Amino acid sequence: MNLSCKGVGVAIVTPFDVKYKIDYPALSRIIEHLINGDVDYLVSLGTTGEAITLTEQECRDVLDFTMKQVNGRVPIVAGQFGSNDTEAIVRKIKNYNFDGLAGILSSSPSYNKPSQEGIFQHYQRINEVTPVPVILYNVPGRTSSNVEADTVLRIARNCPNIIAVKDASANMIQAMQELQDKPDTFSLLSGDDPTSLPLLLLGGSGVISVIGNLYPDIFTKMVHLAIDGKRDEARHYNEIVIDVHQWLYKDGSPSGIKAAMHIAGFCENVVRLPLVPIHESTYAGLKNEMQRVNQLLLELA
């Protein structure tokens, strides 16, 4: 299935049971919730999916289960293709079974903090070997290095298999630089839910979302209205959930969204170490805000 990157991709949580095993019935419920919420594609095994604490076999099992459950209804992107060892990613790509996948998400190298030239050459190597489209993931808060606008544009112009950037920098100046000079075939996606509306109104193509796990219908409506230039209507939907964001990140992500999905009845409030559940005061604040949103939605119905 082709991947356009337009609209909403949701970075799916990986639900665990109380023994820290993958909860496949819960994952099935979440997938159906997202598809019924009209999301445009799913991102499995990203940061939100806690892929870094899954074994290779668990990652494969989660992805295979997700593809079977989705059954071709929306495109699926695999998110566990980030590494600070370029050749390790190259080997993984060469040996990976991509059947059923629309693309991969690849975060920039962390810890060794490469120069901009090193980042460019890293993605150039990935571009040379990938059989599916790649979304570059710029997340400075986790990698300790920013993929600067000039580097993103250089990749966009020289690496045709890299079709988009998921930008979680929340830097609107950088976004404007990229939007002004990017090729038409390259998409700019927000990777930061709270600032996604302004990025979309500047000309962004979509969002890879965390809060979309919880409110796929509301967030998808907001994103599509913003893409269509319907600013006031998009603001209406954005304002419904805007105050939820702070609670999702107060004690770290994905602990926050996992707690929200527990409150909503989708899964247990369980994450794997070194992550821990959010503090009980944060949980209470999140629950109160979600109850406010639910009441507002009842009044609007």
- The DSSP-derived string for 111-173 is SS---HHHHHHHHHHHHHH-SS-EEEEE-HHHHS----HHHHHHHHHH-TTEEEEEE-S--HH
The reported pLDDT for the residue numbered 80 is 85
Catalytic residue among 137, 237, 249, 283: 137
DSSP 39: -
pLDDT value of residue 300: 82
**Phi-psi category of residue 208: left, alpha or beta, with phi > 0 → left and psi -120 to 50 → alpha:** beta
Q: Classify residue 232 as exposed, middle or buried by CB count within 10 Å of its CB (0-12, 13-18, 19+).
A: exposed
Percent of the chain with pLDDT over 70: 100
Q: Hey, what are 238's tokens?
A: 């954005």
Whose CA is closest to 188, among 234, 143, 222, 156?
Answer: 156
Name residues whose C-beta falls within 8 Å of residue 55's C-beta, 6 or more positions apart in sequence.
Answer: none
- Cα(301)–Cα(291) distance, integer angstroms: 15
Distance CA 137, CA 105 (A): 6
Give the dihedral sign, CA 73/225/183/208: negative
pLDDT of residue 2: 79
Confidence of residue 6 (pLDDT cuts 50, 70, 90): very high
Respond yes or no: is residue 19 known to be catalytic.
Answer: no
Task: Kindly name the residue from 41, 123, 166, 182 that is annotated as catalytic.
Answer: 166
- Between 1-10, 63-72, 97-106, the lowest mean confidence (pLDDT) is in 1-10
> Is the predicted pLDDT of residue 156 greater than 90, yes or no?
yes
The whole-number average pLDDT for the span 21-27 is: 98
**Domains present along the chain, CATH in parentheses:** 7-234 (3.20.20.70)
Question: Closest Cα to residue 144, out of 112, 175, 190?
Answer: 112
pLDDT at site 1 = 72
Residue-level pLDDT at 129: 98
Q: Residue 241: CA atoms inside 13 Å, Cβ hemisphere, count?
A: 26
pLDDT at residue number 213: 98
Q: Active-site residue 166, yes or no?
A: yes
Start-to-end Cα distance in the chain: 34
- Residue 49: predicted pLDDT: 98
What angle (nearest 5°) sits at the alpha carbon of residue 161, between those of residues 53 and 2? 80
From the list 33, 277, 238, the residue with the least C-alpha distance to 12 is 33
Residues 169-208 have pLDDT tens digits of 999 999 999 999 999 999 999 999 999 999 999 999 999 9
Q: How far apart are CA 213 and CA 217, in angstroms?
A: 10
Q: Is the pLDDT of residue 301 over 80?
A: no
pLDDT surpassing 90 at residue 299: no
Q: What does the block give as tokens for 298?
A: 């009842």
Q: How confident is the model at residue 68 (pLDDT cuts 50, 70, 90)?
A: very high
Q: What is the pTM of this model?
A: 0.96
User: Residues 188, 203: contact at Cβ < 8 Å?
Assistant: yes
What is the tens place of the pLDDT at every residue in 209-266? 999 999 999 999 999 999 999 999 999 999 999 999 999 999 999 999 999 999 999 9
